[in-house]
Structure 1
Amino acid sequence: MEAIDVSPEMLTLVGMGVMAGHRWPTSPVAFEFDFGCPATFRFHEKPAIDVLEEGDDEVRLIFIVARDACERLLGGALDLADGASYFLPSEMRAIALAIRDCAKPEAAGTPYKLAKSIELLCELLSAAAAGRLAAASGPATMSQGDLQRIAAARQLIDDQWQEKLTLGQIARSCGINRSKLSRGFRETYHCTVSEALSERRLAEASRQLISTDLPVSLIGYRNGYLNNASFTRAFGRRFGRSPSDFRACAVAA
């Protein structure tokens, strides 16, 4: 596997082949990414080469990171469960794929993958600290199949948030009934389907307010709000200020 020395405290392994011969950080933990559908990652509290090499017949991505470094970034203890798998949110999956599938020449590809590795680790730890990581094994009341369908619903929201999605459409697309989706989604992600959709749309709207000069009303419409009043109300509830004030404060800063 290709080894990228991100820092003395972090090693990224990407590609195929054996892992032996690469320098590991002191007292490491490992994040092992699985690009199935849905994508997940497994946390290893005390990683071992023989365990991590079990899937060496496919292109892979593994982070080996000093526990101390993770806990500095977290600002507290790293309490992910050893051997547990967690669903990888769509935005983090995109970063992981950018590392795995990078086709840039070595001179550009190595620093690119290094930077993306830091970005992905920070996003993972931030999500862990905020309780936003959903375990890939659900409660006894939920089958593994239903859990995967609920994860697929979350990915559909993250990928198709611009469309006019309804609970019924999402449920049909993922092969699950509405009530089971509603209940399971709340248990898994600690929010409702509509709240997740709204959060995704408002996050994109906030980005566009800062990074573009598009009219506020057009940004609202592009992000699923049929009129400026409904967009302003929803944005105000989420960010505590109107879209115009949010943009003005960002520009002033």
Structure 2
Amino acid sequence: MHRIDVSPEMIALLGSGPARLPEQSGSGRLFMLGFGSVGQSASMRMIDRPTVEDLNRESGSRLILLVTREACERVADGPVPLQFDTAYYLPAPLRAIALSIRDCDLHEAAATPYRLAKCIELLCDILRTAREGGFIPIGQDAILSRADSERLLAARRLIEERWAEKLTLDMIARACGLNRAKLTRGFRDMFDCSVADAIAQQRLGKAGEMLLATELPVSSIGYRCGYLNNTSFTRAFVRRFGIAPTQYRSHRLAA
């Protein structure tokens, strides 16, 4: 396999056939990307403390990123929220980056820095996607189809982007191509919370930011975040943060 020495903390291996484990990489993290083929989805799995057997579990064309755990957690800004040795669907934008590394046809002097930069971009986007919950486990198809899983991800993105609007189950379901029952059941299965919980979490998180970044009255912030009166806003805020909005503002600003 072709080896790309990206940095002292990261090595990439590209191609097919047997691969050897570089020195001192067995204590890091391995990201194994399969490009997919007819009837087979592109995939990605993360392995902690990889062995030679892990590298050669698949014999086809693949891209392997070997990264130190410290680098992963630094770039991810904390632990990487993926299950070890679980196969995930590789989202199309990440597959496109991986293919650009594999299919680069520049001359050698240009191909080396190009692939190096793309490997860094790929790692950063893998960790960002993981942090945003954008990976779907392949094994989940026994419960949800891949298409329905992607629709549920779209529903969550809609909540994150349109949290200030009046969101209803029927509106979200229609916008994402799901029926109401599949939205409510699938959302809880996939994200371990209800649609209402996700909306409240998003709105109250934004309210907390506004309390610290603006001098708007508490009642105005509550209204902007979708609460029709100050009582319902304060009650929801206390459930989420443990203190009232006025106390939250004064305690944080005094700290």
- TM-score where L is the length of structure 2: 0.60
Percent identity of equivalent pairs:
39
1:64-213 correspondence runs (5 A): 64-67=66-69, 70=72, 73-74=78-79, 79-85=83-89, 121=127, 124=130, 135=137, 137-213=139-215
Unaligned runs of 5+ in 2: 16-21, 36-41, 48-53, 94-119
2:220 paired residue number: 218
Counterpart CA distance in 1 for 2:170 and 2:130 is 31
Q: Secondary structure at the match of 1:43?
A: strand
Matched, 1:231 2:241: no
Counterpart of 1:26 in structure 2: which amino acid?
S
Counterpart CA distance in 1 for 2:230 and 2:129 is 32
Counterpart CA distance in 2 for 1:161 and 1:121 is 24
2:103 paired residue number: none
Q: For residues 242 and 133 of structure 1, do their structure 2 counterparts lie closer, same or farther at Cα, with a shift above 3 Å needed?
A: farther
How many residues matched? 205
Counterpart CA distance in 2 for 1:184 and 1:201 is 22
Give the superposition deviation at 1:241: 0.4
Residue deviations 1:26-78 (CA, integer Å, cap 9, x gap): 3442286x9xxxxx993342568x7445xxxxxxxx97521465579539x97
Counterpart CA distance in 2 for 1:221 and 1:163 is 11
Q: CA RMSD in A?
A: 4.6
- TM-score where L is the length of structure 1: 0.61
The answer to whether the Cα contact below 8 Å between 1:236 and 1:243 also exists between their aligned partners in 2 is: yes
The answer to whether the Cα contact below 8 Å between 1:182 and 1:193 also exists between their aligned partners in 2 is: yes
Counterpart of 1:74 in structure 2: which amino acid?
P
Q: Secondary structure at the match of 2:183?
A: helix
Give the superposition deviation at 1:214: 2.1
The answer to whether the Cα contact below 8 Å between 2:151 and 2:178 also exists between their aligned partners in 1 is: yes
Unaligned runs of 5+ in 1: 35-39, 54-61, 88-92, 94-113
Counterpart of 2:25 in structure 1: which amino acid?
T
Q: Secondary structure at the match of 1:81?
A: coil
